[in-house]
Structure 1
């Protein structure tokens, strides 16, 4: 007689049988949810790897985000607060009578920006432009200046207080542009100094009437 038949017949409930049935059902559900041996080992191995992985290194005190790029095989950086964007160089308009370090004028979405090649100032050898060449556009409220870069490495971090004095370089015409060098050889440029240097400003009369 089933439990339902016993109830309809008015027979007392067999609590012991009911408990046994519930226990068997719980055991069956647990067995179904239990992973197989291979799955269990894989889960344990994944958990062990996660626990064994070293924690991320703490960010050094005073670390500042910088954009790292290359000029003539050497690595330079600018603090990101002076960098507006990195762009592929469009066709540059040559400026008649402009100094040799002025590569030209770029039209960046309708905004005309002077493009400066600071290799000579930094003592970096010239490198022919290729598909890796980029413009590092500087400015606060607007794009004020763009530097030619042979290649952009991406974002990095450095601690300005840990910078070493830049080694003397006879070919470096503007040593004041270099704030210092990290132990790994990354030279930090002084972005604000570049932006306020009047020698890098091209006179308006020399600008062409149209840039494409």
Structure 2
């Protein structure tokens, strides 16, 4: 398991929500956390790409993580956020139900992803973390954004 954003024996992550579950992404990938804003739809794209938005002069594709993971859609509300991710010179926004907090995870608390995970394909996950009374899933950013071509159509 890669621990590129680990400092010492901890990994710094931002925790966010989709439906009733908590997920985490390493903070090194997070450019910013934005309130929901208007998104321009792009025809003939993947079903989970909401469109693009102009974020400080950068045209950024926006992915609805609920749709990407096969979770039923939800209207945005005051808690909805866009996590702007930067990976390998690509900037992409993830629509999430809410962004909770930034925490440090001890590396030894990251467990392999169970083979059967409720709804979210195991490929998208890097591991599961149990901290006190919380359980959340660490996303595999490479897999979530893999093969996302804004002009391709998924069928």
TM-score when scaled to structure 1? 0.60
Give the Å deviation of 1:99.
1.7
Give the Å deviation of 1:63.
1.0
Aligned CA distance change for structure 1 residues 116 and 66 (closer, same or farther; 3 Å)? same
Q: Summarize deviations over 1:144-176 as a string: whole Å, max 9, x none.
A: 11100111102112134322233313633x321
Residue number in structure 2 paired with 1:20 = none
Higher Rg: 1
Give the Å deviation of 1:68.
0.6
Task: List runs of 5+ in structure 2 lacking aligned partners.
Answer: 1-6
Residue number in structure 1 paired with 2:119 = 171
TM superposition outliers: structure 1 runs of 4+ over 6 Å? none
Q: What is the total number of aligned residue pairs between the two structures?
A: 143
Cα RMSD for the two superposed structures: 2.3
Contact 1:77 1:189 in 2 (8 A): yes
Residue number in structure 2 paired with 1:194 = 144
Matches of 1:114 and 1:187, distance apart in 2? 24
Matches of 1:62 and 1:108, distance apart in 2? 34
Task: List runs of 5+ in structure 1 lacking aligned partners.
Answer: 1-59, 207-212
Q: 11, 14, 24: which one pairs with 1:67?
A: 14
| Higher helix content, 1 or 2 | 1
Indicate the structure whose relative CO is greater, using CA pairs within 8 Å and at least 6 residues apart. 2
| SS of aligned partner of 1:119 | helix
Q: Summarize deviations over 1:108-158 as a string: whole Å, max 9, x none.
A: 112110000122443434322011111101114755111001111021121
| Higher strand content, 1 or 2 | 2
TM-score when scaled to structure 2? 0.80
| SS of aligned partner of 2:135 | coil
Contact 2:62 2:95 in 1 (8 A): yes
